[in-house]
Structure 1
Amino acid sequence: MTPNFSIKHSCYKVHEVPAIVAMAVYEKDCEEWVDQAITSIRQQTYSDFLYVIVIDGHINLSLLAVVMGHAENDDRIVVVEGAVNRGLAACMNFAIDWSLSLKPTYFFRMDADDFSEVNRLEKQITYLNKHSHVSILGTGLVEINEQNKQVGARVMPQTNRQITRLLPRRCTINHPTVCIRYKVFADGYRYDDALQNTQDYFLWIELAAAGYIFCNLKDKLLRFRRVNDFYKRRGLIKSLNEFRARVRAMRWLKRLTAYNFFYACLVLGLRMMPSGIVKMAYKLDRHILEKFIKH
């Protein structure tokens, strides 16, 4: 067990479980949104899972009370405590490693400020049970603001060919919607915990290069929180990581073209622009993506 993490609360009574849902909670997370996120998973129509909530470093007592209140009323919730803030990748890797002994089949991601539709798990598991060749399954999502009002939507390319073709230009799986077969982790793959962001993008590239099959459902099974600072300039490190990911995708997937490289440079420049320009670029990007999916 990773020294920085320890089990704070667990009352589960199973030796094996088909599915794990993993979520990290940070000091700055909103208590109301965390409560909504946990509730949305507890109320799923598919109920045979363990919900691993990793507290990533110190959080205030009121936020802790929200998490523990749910855990004390639901034996499916396991609360993990991290001694220091390690980042999302380390939290997810711990949840993966800890749960391997329970022999799960499916690993679901959840974020602490989002809201899963009540049939999300059921729909994704039903699809994967019927399509054994698919290893990574995402879904569409609805974008909501701080008041839970819809402000947008996002549907990704559905087929493996479209998803991998676009990877050099964009991250084509909505990370908070993803379900991954545990066979991927049994094969040795993990998030890169040296990264504090873009961990999912790098993992998708690695898995695509290894030949794993991706798919996205067009169903919008998650409400994704798009807050006020969504369009603010990305930090230099995050922007450079995204650029590195695009270049890696070009190389590893053998799609190093002048257009793809120009696109990567263009996005890097836009990330550093004022929020108004970023917002316009984001809307244009969504429009282009929808055209690509339709054709």
Structure 2
Amino acid sequence: MSLYKNDRFEFVKLSVESILNQTYKHFDFYVQYDGPIREEVDSYLSGLEDERMRIQKRAENKGLAQSLNDLLNIVMSAGYEYIARMDADDISELNRFERQIQYFDEHPKVECLGTWAVEIMGDGGEYYRKQMPESHEDCKKLFRKRDCMIHPTVIFRRSYIEKSGLYSLDTYFGEDTMMWAQGFVAGCVFANVPEYLFRFRLDDNFFKRRRGWKHAKGIFTLRHKVNKMLHYGVMADFWALAYAGAKMMPICMLNVIYKTARK
């Protein structure tokens, strides 16, 4: 988990508790402070009496991708077999780790494993139930159009990071999209547990922050690069252009598209 100055105490507390209270207990919890964070958040985390907590601090904000890479370097050196993602405003169901580890045991070739998620608003109310493809083949098929994994739901096998490498630092915002592309290029196997094991929070400015020319240009540039990496062809660029174009629409229309385009 990476934290930065805008992370709210009440959301961080729910997020952290959802990890520490997992039914699967055998893990260490690494948290990276990406620059200064709110005093009440630091006080809460520093006061946790749980030997699994591992807090890393730095004074400068360097972004999510750098924070995740810093943590990956630590956990890879420590020899962990599985590496789970978590965001500071989301909530894992308490059996998330247990079900994902069980799935890994039953599917030994899978190296990147996500789950379905219930998207919630700032007040915790349900917004949308997001299902993702289960099989590797269906994940790769969907990736021609859009992401096939919900980033904070993912657990990696160690072998995934060994093959794909770290998060890209030269994307505008899509370090997760590029991570999936690197994995596909490296021959990694993807899957999703077909269960709602996660609550993904959409903040009040979710759509406002995800529209406009800069965001649209960033999406097309990223997806075009991915399409070239995976030899997806011209049709995939058409989908990238449509995806980018949607980001130029009014927020009310973007809200409708966000739901209907994913069915």
Instruction: Please confirm whether the aligned pair reaches a TM-score higher than 0.5, indicating the same fold.
Output: yes
Name 2:223's counterpart in structure 1: 246
Name 2:180's counterpart in structure 1: 204
The CA deviation at 1:235 is: 5.0
Name 1:97's counterpart in structure 2: 73
1:130 paired with 2:106, answer yes
The CA distance in 1 between the partners of 2:170 and 2:36, in whole Å, is 20
1:156 paired with 2:140, answer no
- Structure 1, unpaired ranges of 5+: 1-22, 288-295
The CA deviation at 1:66 is: 1.9
Task: Name the TM-score, length of structure 1 as normaliser.
Answer: 0.85
Name 1:48's counterpart in structure 2: 26
Aligned ranges for residues 1-295 of structure 1 at < 5 Å? 23-70=1-48, 73-187=49-163, 189-232=165-208, 233-234=210-211, 236-258=213-235, 260-287=236-263
CA contact (8 A) 1:140 1:154 kept: yes
CA shift digits 1:195-224 (9 cap, x unpaired): 352101011011112211100111111101
The CA deviation at 1:274 is: 1.4
Q: Following superposition, which runs of at least 4 residues in structure 1 exceed 4 angstroms of deviation?
A: none
- Structure 2, unpaired ranges of 5+: none
The CA distance in 1 between the partners of 2:259 and 2:40, in whole Å, is 37
The SS at the match of 1:282 is: helix
The CA distance in 1 between the partners of 2:52 and 2:36, in whole Å, is 23
The CA deviation at 1:283 is: 1.4
Task: Name the TM-score, length of structure 2 as normaliser.
Answer: 0.95
Q: Which amino acid aligns with 1:112?
A: A
The CA deviation at 1:114 is: 0.3
Q: Which amino acid aligns with 1:263?
A: W
The CA distance in 2 between the partners of 1:225 and 1:237, in whole Å, is 23
The CA distance in 2 between the partners of 1:219 and 1:55, in whole Å, is 31
Name 1:11's counterpart in structure 2: none
Q: Which amino acid aligns with 1:255?
A: Y
Once superposed, what is the RMSD of the aligned Cα atoms?
Answer: 1.5
CA shift digits 1:47-74 (9 cap, x unpaired): 111100111001121121122122xx10
The CA distance in 1 between the partners of 2:215 and 2:61, in whole Å, is 18
The CA distance in 2 between the partners of 1:116 and 1:235, in whole Å, is 31
The CA deviation at 1:266 is: 1.5
CA shift digits 1:111-154 (9 cap, x unpaired): 00000000001111111122111110010001111221212110
The CA distance in 2 between the partners of 1:211 and 1:123, in whole Å, is 24
Identity score, percent: 32
The CA distance in 2 between the partners of 1:162 and 1:89, in whole Å, is 26
The CA distance in 1 between the partners of 2:108 and 2:85, in whole Å, is 20
The SS at the match of 2:30 is: strand
Name 1:293's counterpart in structure 2: none
